[in-house]
Amino acid sequence: MTKFVMALFVIQVVGGLFQMGTLMTAGSRNSTARASRLPDLLVFSHAVLGFLAAGLWVGQLLTGDDRFAWVTLAVVALSIAGGTVMFLKTELGSETLDRPAADPADVRVAEKQIPKTVLHGHGLGAAVLAVCVLVVAL
């Protein structure tokens, strides 16, 4: 089960990096989005917590110490909280920023360019990951 959890972490990190890459292209020539409504600190801390949780899980794999599993679960829970806020802002927000512009392309938000399957899969994967970490910790 511990190796399965590590595989889930890898999948989550890849999906998260894809989404972060989409957000980071806002304002570039290759993107039709000019901005993001997601707070930079929230995006950054969500990513840092995800990497920290994966690193803690490696510690659990190497030592077999259940304390690593419990700390990992706490970090995953914090990351899920931030991810839920971003998910709600993305799903409930409009396709454009709330300001007038001469060109509609100037107000498109980057998070709306993330495919829904990736967005929903990342959230579902986080829930499965949290349950699996809890099972290992118990």
- pLDDT tens digits for range 98-117: 555 555 555 577 787 788 89
Residues 113 and 23: their CA atoms lie apart, in Å, by 8
pTM comes to: 0.83
Residues 31 and 34: their CA atoms lie apart, in Å, by 7
Counted residue by residue, the chain has a size of 138
Beta bridge partners of 117: none
In the chain, which ranges are continuous DSSP H helix?
Answer: 2-24, 40-63, 66-92, 116-137
% of residues, the chain, pLDDT over 90? 55
Q: State which amino acid sits at residue 32.
A: T
The mean-pLDDT minimum among 51-55, 90-94, 105-109 falls in 105-109
What pLDDT, on a 0 to 100 scale, did the predictor assign at position 131? 95
Using pLDDT thresholds of 50, 70 and 90, give the confidence band for residue 97.
Answer: low
**How many domains are contained in the chain?**
1
More confident residue, 36 or 80: 80
**Domain housing 122:** 2-137
